[in-house]
Amino acid sequence: MTNLHHLSAVELNKAFVQGDVTALQIAEYFLKRIENHNQQLGAFLSILGPRMILKAERLDLKRSQNKPLGKLAGVPVAIKDNMHIAGEITSCASKFLKNYRAPFDATAIRLLEQEDALITGKTNLDEFAMGSSNENSAYFNAHNPWDLECTPGGSSGGSAAAVAARLSLIGTGSDTGGSIRQPAGFCGIVGYKPTYGRVSRYGLVAFASSLDQIGPFATTVADVALTMEVIGRHCPHDSTSLDLPAESYSLNTTLADVKIGVPYRFLENLKPEARANFENNLHVLKSLGAKILNIDLDILKYSIAVYYILATAEASTNLARFDGIRYGIREKEAKTLDEIYEFSRKEGFGREVKKRIMLGTYVLSAGFQDAFYKKAQKVRTLVIDAFEAAFAECDAIAMPVAPSGAFPLQSINDPLEMYLQDIFTIPANLAGLPAISVPSGFDSRQMPLGLQLVGPQLCDVPLIQYAHAFEQATQFTRKIPPLFKGSAS
Amino acid sequence: MTYLALDVILTGYLWMIMSKFNEKTLENLKKLCRIDCTPEEDKDILHSLGRVLEYVELLKEVDTTGVASCNYVLQSMLKNLMREDEIKDLLPREQFLSNAPDQIGGMIRVPPVIKGS
């Protein structure tokens, strides 16, 4: 078989199961693509070549013995480097953890490998998942496969770039304020943030625990659905993991009688190009039978303020564990315990991480907690209530993924302007809602744009069905960036 | 009414303090966070935090009287999680120590923390 990277995960799995291709051929093919392209793309921080080959050989043996094969048998999967693979480095793109070897598998990883996925490597991210452009990686930038001068988005930029460039067919990400959906939108692929708690976070390095959620990247909605069937399971190791049976994701292609809410007033400042694309998307949804209605979500204009208080507050406590004592780097010059903390954190953390820890500590400090943290928690309640009221009228909410397509690297220097990039993705995290980013066209620079659909809590299955219907009615998924279309060799 | 008045006074007081977010606040914050910075980082962080704190002032205009704090996002799934108090999923000592930056005799080594020891 040639051009394996033009296939979806579902198709490649089928080809493997039918015996059209061996797991070893798949592994060698994608490792070759990674070898050829990673330098220009910066998608992977580490490539797990020998491990992947070994797993592939075992998988071929399994098939030759006619043993039952997993749902993801033969599918190459890239893992964001803030999730543990036992024995491998989990760097979180931080100097602090450059030598840290994970002592156990994250639940999501265990589930993926239980279903015979082939892990290609660990992908680049903003340090500790803090950022919207992948520029906060302590190692190197990741680049957008559609234009190498542009950001792939962040924080899961490496996984998004890897999947968009077909260096892997599935990627994992973690989404605290849009870190799966925004890079998916920027790279022209599908990205899914499940309901809070749907995927276990055991083995994910925590950023903001009331917001973090693991989810997949893929080139089609069907591949996202397949991955969710595998990783969307209850896990006793994560107390926030939902104790619900795993769901089966059958896919529809109609939106008859589905009511889609649009918060028109909240979207009134959309720039012309993003607006035109969004209007086209609504037209597609209508043509599939959906009813579009105006909903009031004015409260969402406070989302970013709420988010940057709560997320940094939680990060400041979560990152207190990086003290230079038990793991991570320890500054050799340090003579006292305090110096170990201070010097190790000085050397180990990048600027954005320091900034957020300080902001989080500030908003939690005595005298300020009521004005910042508690106030933000109350406004978060209002955000949740507003969504609940909206979902009494509609089945899903449509918004753009981001205010524009991918921006050039190094083009945004103002911290606030960077934070405002997440205006449309943060609300779903604040309210624990499932939300999906689906390719919806291209801007005048030929950079991808994305449509975001947001569903009520726990309604992961219908949301993915709506996204599938939209995808099937458009021609924007499965487009491969021209630079990466060619075969491996 | 009393609450509102208190709220106004408190917010005004905080605004006064926040407008003084300066080098001194930053130095204090660095101590609280156990983080040291380069002079260049200090300058950037001071500027950025000032900008962000100014922005989050926006929340003051939201009336949150009588609104409960959000402590858990999925109210419909809220329940206590209990388990037997039993030892399980132990990480072997050797494996745990393999990531430790400094160790001695199967334990993690740190500088003396008690004076005179």
ipTM comes to 0.90
Q: Is B4's Cβ below 8 Å from some Cβ in A? A: no
In this predicted structure, the answer to whether residue B7 has a pLDDT above a threshold of 60 is no
Question: Any chain A CB within 8 A of the CB of B90?
Answer: no
Give me the pLDDT at residue B14, please: 52
Q: And the tokens for A431?
A: 């309210």
Point out the residue among B38, B41, B62 whose CB comes nearest to the CB of A379.
B62
Task: Determine which of A298, A340, A354 to mutate to test the interface with B (most B C-beta atoms within 10 Å).
Answer: A354
Q: What's the confidence (pLDDT) of residue B81?
A: 85
**Contact: A377, B69; criterion CB under 8 Å:** yes
For A368, name the nearest residue in chain B, comparing CA atoms only.
B14
**Mean pLDDT of the region B4-25:** 60
Residues of chain A with pLDDT under 70: 488-489
Nearest Cα residue in chain A from B89: A237
Q: Given CB atoms, is B34 within the 8 Å cutoff of chain A? A: yes
Q: How far apart are the first and last CA of chain A?
A: 13
Spatial contact of B33 and A316, defined as CB atoms under 8 Å apart: yes
Count of beta carbons in the 10 Å neighbourhood of residue A17: 13
| 3 state SS of B103 | strand
Put simply, whether A118 touches B (Cβ < 8 Å) is no
Chain B contact present for A330, CB below 8 A: yes
Per-residue model confidence (pLDDT) at position A488: 56
Neighbours of A482 (CB within 10 A): 10
* CB contact (8 A) between residue A101 and residue B98: yes
Residue A332: per-residue pLDDT: 86
What per-residue confidence (pLDDT) applies to A475?
Answer: 86
Check pLDDT > 80 for residue B9.
no
CB-CB under 8 Å, B113 with A371: no
Structure letter (DSSP) for residue A130: -
Which of the four pLDDT bands, split at 50, 70 and 90, describes residue B11? low
Structure tokens at A464: 């993915």
DSSP state of A447: -
Over 50: is that where the pLDDT of B1 sits? no
pLDDT digits (tens, 9 = 90+) for B47-84: 999 999 999 999 999 999 999 999 999 988 888 888 89
| B35, B67, B110: residue with CB nearest A382 | B67
- Inter-chain CB proximity A416 and B55 less than 8 Å: yes
Helix or strand (DSSP H, E) at A465: helix A460-473
pTM above 0.80, yes or no: yes
Note whether B2 contacts A: Cβ–Cβ < 8 A.
no
Closest-CA residue to B107 (of A340, B96, A338, A103): B96
For residue A122, the distance in angstroms to the closest alpha carbon of chain B comes to 19
A157 with A126: CB under 8 angstroms? yes
Identify all chain A residues contacting B74, using CB atoms and an 8 Å cutoff.
195-197, 242, 432, 457-458
Label residues A177-206 b or e (16+ Cβ within 10 Å = b): bbbbbbbbbbbbbbbbbbbbbbbbbbbbbb
Chain A residues whose CB is inside 8 A of the B23 CB are none
Per-chain mean pLDDT for chain B: 84
Closest partner residue to B35 (CB to CB) among A243, A335, A345 is A345
Single out the catalytic residue among A55, A80, A122, A193: A80
Compute the distance between CA of residue A365 and CA of residue A152 in angstroms, rounded to an integer.
35
With 0-12 / 13-18 / 19 or more C-beta atoms within 10 angstroms meaning exposed / middle / buried, residue B8 is exposed
B104: which 2 tokens? 């001695």
**Nearest CA-CA partner of A324 in A88, A100, A92:** A100
pLDDT of residue B116: 67
Judge whether B9 is closer than 8 Å to chain A, CB to CB. no
Active site residue A155: yes
Q: What's the confidence (pLDDT) of residue B6?
A: 52
Amino acid at residue number A34: I
Residue type for position A460: D
Considering the candidates A168, A179, A316, A437, report the single residue annotated as catalytic.
A179
Name the region of A97 (left: φ>0; alpha: ψ -120 to 50; beta: rest): alpha
Q: Under an 8 A CB cutoff, do A361 and B29 touch?
A: yes
E strand spans, A164-228: 170-175, 190-193, 213-218
Is residue A179 part of the annotated active site? The answer reads: yes
Contacts of A326 in chain B (CB under 8 A): 96, 99-100, 108
User: What is A4-258+393-484's CATH topology?
Assistant: Amidase signature (AS) enzymes (3.90.1300)
Instruction: Please state, in angstroms and as integers, the Cα–Cα distance from residue A7 to each residue in A171, A226, A484, A485, following that order.
Output: 15, 15, 14, 12
Average pLDDT in the B87-105 region?
91
Quick check: B64 and A375 CB within 8 A? yes
Name the A residues in 142-181 with CB < 8 Å from any B CB: none
Indicate if the pLDDT at residue B10 is higher than 80.
Answer: no
Name A315's Cβ contacts closer than 8 Å, sequence gap at least 6: A128, A130, A207, A208, A356, A357, A360
CA distance A294 to A315: 36
Report the pLDDT value the prediction gives residue B79, as an integer from 0 to 100: 86
Distance CA(B111)–CA(B117), nearest Å, equals 10
Per the CB < 8 Å rule, is A361 touching B96? no
* In chain A, where the domains are located: 4-258+393-484
A192 min Cα distance to partner chain B (Å):
19
Strand duo A76-80 + A118-123: pairing: parallel
Residues of chain B contacting A335 with CB distance shorter than 8 Å: 111
Asked whether A263 and A399 are in contact (CB, 8 A), the reply is: yes
